[in-house]
A and B are shown apart, each in its own frame.
Chain A
Amino acid sequence: MKIKSHKLDNSVSLPAAVLINLILILFCAACILPFIFVMIISFTAEESIRQIGYSFTPIEWSLDAYRYVLELGDQLWRSYANSFIVTILGTFFSVLMVMMYSYALFRKDFKFRGFFTFFCFFTMLFGGGLAPTYIVCKNLLGLSDNYAALIVPGLLNPFNVIIMRTFFQTSVPDSLIEAAAIDGSGEYNTLFRIIVPIAKPGIATVSLLTALGYWNEWFIAMLYIRDAKYIPLQYLLMKMQNQVDFLVKNSAMIGAEAANIMSNLPKDSLRMALVVLIVIPIACAYPFFQRYIISGLTIGSVKG
């Protein structure tokens, strides 16, 4: 290709290229090293931690942390399941809602387009604040200690409406809508049969951003969840910042058995093992879907 040869011509000098690569390698290393470090700690024997603390080169390796995770995993598996349920249900309903709302805003011939655009985007600029929202959700809407409390507060993000509407605008020609209308296609039919297949990349983008949001959410749980039954993974980890034994307290074991486990618990490596278990699904998946996220964020970065 022509451009390629030109590009080669215009390359930086060799020393500059080496320097650039060196800087980038250092920065990339800084980005992932903490995770590798945490992973090493999770495989470190408690005795090694007692002697030399957390180290990239532990004296002794061990699978104890993961063994304990398996053994007293009641709370952990429940939280894992909670996170999955909330992410899947939340993403489904959220994307459906965002898609329908954005489609109405996208239609230039929608009579109340201006009003509903304002109605949605105004909430990005002004709101009641945390305390009133908390009181309304908890006491008026009953969002407390149930799955709805974890799902409902994140359902509609105006930011996603912007992204979705922009995708519609760039991928769906007006003539298509007109043609569908002439053929007697109803609005729901037009949206789900004609528009959705065209706007798939946009829907994928918004779905991924929403799913990521639900998976990483802990603040909502911190506000509305007290019952250990509904605690999602991220909040479990948050709780263990201060109460390392939270996992044990909420496992099925009681009495002497629990006391025994508690005293032998590899507390440090156990917490780090949990971090690893949370990050692994994301670390494995994101290289494949980052393309969509980037396209969404490029739209969103300038708008909002």
Chain B
Amino acid sequence: MSKVKTGGAASVQKKRSQGFTGTKKTLALLSMTLPGVIWLILLRYLPMFGIVLAFKDYRVYTKKPGVINNVLHSDWVGLKNFKFIFATSDAAVMIRNTICYNLVFILLGMVLAVSFAIMLNEVRSKLLAKSYQTLMFFPYFLSWVVASYFVLAFLDPTDGLIVHLQKAAGADVINWYNDPKPWPFLLVLANLWKNTGYSTILYLAAITGIDMTQYEAARIDGATKWQQIKYVTIPNLRSMIIILFIMNVGKIFNADFGLFYSVPMNSGPLYPATQVIDTYVYNALMATSNIGMSTAAGLLQNVVGFICVMTANSIVRRIDDDSSLF
């Protein structure tokens, strides 16, 4: 911070004109933030006032329709929207799904990615290592809509590869898009498929950054490969692993909408296994146009999510100040 200010006595002459250039500089920098600020106000801060809708029964004000009039003239209903959400089993199911899936994604994703990164680091051929990296990075670049067709190719009720294999084997053919039972497994698989390569590459970057002399010292002391991994690689990755873990746990209330909406094709019978808070908020808004309930569920998610991230961040700051978000 102080580097700039310790310029020394050379800047005495400059001082006189500083008042003027200082203002000019501030104005120029302010004008640079302006487009961003306008965007943030319109698309991020203005909707925050819409949170009142969680406590209202949103109706179109027929005398003079318009967003602001609609909001102002809708009746206050207190916590009715929240009560409605919790009156059915929906709330329990979507909260359970969101948290459980995220936990599994975080834990399995981490174990797999770290293992793959350690393996990838042992591949001596540059060409091979590069090819592996490129291939496993591929799914990261695709959208969930595209991925949903990949899943469809295997599970299509009439033509899917697995369905046909089942038929050929004489097994009972289930309609995969009607039966929620296999979906927890499928969704975990889909998520790992899409994200493991990407996290592997992140961990690999960290591993290649480890000081080689540490390995050399370990080897001179007679450490085997396993011992090197256990006593050099893992300890060096520890802070990154812990920080990513805590940060991800902080985001545990936010689900990956595309995975849960697009991959199961928003199929109703699958909701017990696929409904997460994000899809509930979307379906309440677009399918049933229940703006009050959608806002209420979204608000709940945001408040709990906010608390989680703040907690996570303060824990991270205690471990490693540089890695905290703010």
A:136-190 near B, CB below 8 Å:
136-137, 139-141, 152-153, 155-156, 161, 174, 178, 181-182, 186-188
B205 touches A216 (CB 8 A): no
A100 x B50 contact (CB < 8 A): no
Residues 11 to 36 of chain B near chain A (Cβ within 8 Å): 14, 21, 25-26, 28-30, 32-33, 35-36
**Of A6, A13, A34, most B-chain CB atoms within 10 Å:** A34
Contact of A53 (CB < 8 Å), options: B161, B198, B294? B161
Q: Which of B47, B202, B291 contacts A298 (CB 8 A)?
A: B202
Is A31 a contact partner of B135 (Cβ separation < 8 A)? yes
Contact between chains at B122 and A11 (CB < 8 Å)? yes
> In the complex, which residues of chain A have a beta carbon less than 8 angstroms from the beta carbon of B286?
222-223
* Inter-chain contact B302/A127, CB cutoff 8 Å: yes
B77 interface residue (CB < 8 Å to A):
no
Structural contact, B32 and A53, CB atoms closer than 8 A: no
For A23, A107, A130, A219, which residue has the most chain B Cβ atoms within 10 angstroms?
A130
B145 and A237 contacting across the interface, CB-CB below 8 Å: yes
- Tell me if A63 counts as interface (CB < 8 A to partner B): no
B281 within 8 A of A: yes
Nearest Cβ in chain A — how far from B213, in angstroms? 10
How far, in angstroms, from A53 to B154 measured CA to CA in the complex?
Answer: 10
In the complex, identify which listed stretch (B1-9, B89-97, B100-108) lies at the interface while the others stay far away.
B1-9
Which residue of the partner chain, among A27, A118, A140, A219, contacts B258 with CB atoms under 8 Å? Answer: A219
A278 at the interface (CB under 8 A from B): yes
Chain B residues positioned under 8 Å from A20 (CB to CB): 119, 122-123
Which B residues lie at the A interface, using CB under 8 A? 1, 3-4, 7, 14, 21, 25-26, 28-30, 32-33, 35-37, 39-40, 42-51, 53, 66-67, 116, 119-120, 122-124, 128, 131-139, 141-143, 145-154, 156, 158-161, 163-164, 193, 196-198, 201-202, 205, 212, 215-216, 219, 225, 228, 240, 243-244, 247, 257-258, 262, 265, 281-282, 284-286, 291, 294-295, 298-299, 301-302, 305-306, 309-310, 323, 325-326
Chain A interface residues (CB < 8 Å from chain B): 3, 6-13, 16-17, 20-21, 23-25, 27-28, 30-32, 34-35, 37-38, 41, 49, 52-56, 96-98, 100-101, 103-104, 107-112, 116, 118-121, 123-137, 139-141, 152-153, 155-156, 161, 174, 178, 181-182, 186-188, 191, 212, 216-219, 222-223, 234-235, 237-238, 241-242, 268, 271-272, 275, 278-279, 282-283, 286-287, 290, 294, 297-298, 301-304
